[in-house]
Amino acid sequence: MEKTYISFTEEMKKDYTVLIPNMLPMHFTLISKVMQNFGIRSELLLTQGQHIKDTGLKYVHNDTCYPAILVIGQFIDALQSGKYDPHKTALILFQTGGGCRASNYINLLRKALEKAGYGYVPVISMSLAGLEDHPGFKMTVPVIHRLMYAILYADLLMLLRNQCRPYEIKKGESEALAQAWTDRLAAEMGASNKISYKKIKETYKKILADFNKIPRAEVHRTRVGVVGEIFVKYSPLGNNNLEDFLVKEGAEVTVPGLLDFCLYCVYNNLMDTKLLGRNKGQYAVWRIAYKFFIKKQKDLIDIIKENSEFDPPTPFEHTVSLIKGYIGIGAKMGEGWLLTAEMLELADKGIKNIVCTQPFGCLPNHICGKGMMRPIKEKNPDINIVAIDYDAGATAVNQENRIKLMLANSSD
């Protein structure tokens, strides 16, 4: 079959800059550093503002998924900014290969680039599913190994920053410490450095010790969980800086880690075999990967419990068990059953106030998120959930007023 895309070649690797869209600032900073350590010059885009939406809408139909509008707008805005040489620039998109519209982002992006006059810019598909071939960008075992620990490290930093930030006496100290550790960890995960799991577990303890030293006031904060479509749940660009707004309103924010989504993807491959008889030849591989991730998560949870009073993540296997009687395990388009599970997980931890973020028109989220609010509330009458739509035409004022109303009705 004839290839219809421009590959990122070994030759390009020498002098091209690869731009990364900003979904999770700490996670993607570490991912960018891992790429740099393996010889790929990369840069995380941190641009925000109305002009990003406007640029996306100029080159993508306004009915397109909101995250696609933002990501494409951010890429094209960068190419038009004059900061980069478009003939020496490549773009990268992260894909799961699932049935959600997200799997079509890459074709939407290439069509938009053509329309904007940048059809020659290579777009790299970063996917464990091996959707495309890019000789200059290979998901080798050493790269995957470091990316996995980048996710674990960043999940820990995000968790600790969120639990310290609302109580810190010196404003900005938690964020500064998280950034300092992000820079330090990026250097430690260099291609020439041997990854020692014993050292990684010791590093977890050092991170916990540093955050534990942050002076914190003993004041009450309303605990608020954030769930939803993966981009608008995490991205400050996608959710209008939701975490900052909630902290400003006097809340402690809890956001499930990215590892849960990775485990969800692996788990779904196992369920495809059990429920549908698919991928039987790969079942053993996915089973090994699943047990590996579960063990890494358990180690992290145990270290947090043994070395601090911080609230650790919920074990993934417990999260899965919570959906019984609510939604089937076969509902796996987009965030699927995980979205329902994360709301139940937060309630199970005593976090009764939940913001469910969703791009307007996102069918999986409207079913597994907004559509599940009523059955969840029927069995958990003290839960307080608000669904917030994010769209190029939605105003931040309207979104924030609805969240303020949710906080006003909080029983926490």
pLDDT tens figures, 64-76: 889 999 999 999 9
Among 41-55, 192-206, 251-265, whose mean pLDDT is lowest? 192-206
Name the residue with higher pLDDT: 287 or 132.
Answer: 287
pLDDT at 164 over 90: yes
CA 77/CA 46 separation, integer angstroms: 12
Q: Is the pLDDT of residue 102 over 90?
A: no
- More confident position, 363 or 108: 108
Secondary structure class of 14 (helix, strand, coil): helix
CATH class of the domain whose range is 10-138: alpha beta
Residue 1 has pLDDT above 50, yes or no: no
- Is the pLDDT at 146 greater than 90? The verdict is no
Lowest mean pLDDT of 2-6, 119-123, 263-267, 401-405, name the range.
Answer: 2-6
Query: Average pLDDT in the 90-104 region?
Result: 74
What percentage of the chain has pLDDT greater than the value 90?
A: 68
- pLDDT at position 361, please? 76
pLDDT for 191 equals 61
> Mean per-residue pLDDT for 117-123?
95
Give pLDDT, residue 410. Answer: 81
Q: Mean pLDDT over residues 113-136, rounded?
A: 84
Distance between CA 65 and CA 70 in Å, rounded?
Answer: 9
Residue 4 clears pLDDT 80, i.e. is over it: no
Please say if the pLDDT value at position 87 is more than 90.
Answer: yes
Between 190 and 280, whose confidence is greater? 280
Return the beta strands (E) in 302-365 as ranges: 353-359
pLDDT, position 38: 85
pLDDT of 176 higher than 70: yes
Q: What is the pLDDT of residue 96?
A: 64
Interior angle at CA 249, CA 246 and CA 250, nearest 5: 95
Residue 192's pLDDT is 66
**What gap in Å lies between CA 244 and CA 251, rounded to an integer?**
10
| Fold classification of 220-257+313-408 (topology level) | Rossmann fold (3.40.50)
Lowest mean pLDDT of 127-141, 192-206, 297-311, name the range.
127-141
Q: How far apart are CA 205 and CA 190, in angstroms?
A: 21
Q: What is the pLDDT of residue 20?
A: 94
pLDDT range class, residue 131, cuts 50, 70, 90: low
pLDDT the model gives residue 393: 84
Label residues 355-364 b or e (16+ Cβ within 10 Å = b): bbbbbeebeb
Domain locations along the chain: 10-138, 220-257+313-408
If you average pLDDT over every residue of the chain, what do you get? 91
Averaged pLDDT for residues 162-179: 97
> C-alpha distances in angstroms, 358 versus 185, 227, 230, 365?
32, 9, 9, 6
Mean pLDDT of 349-371: 89
106's CB contacts (< 8 A; 6+ apart) are 93, 95, 123, 125
Output phi, psi for 240, to 5 deg.
55, 45
Q: What percent of the chain has pLDDT over 70?
A: 95
Same topology between domain 10-138 and domain 220-257+313-408? yes
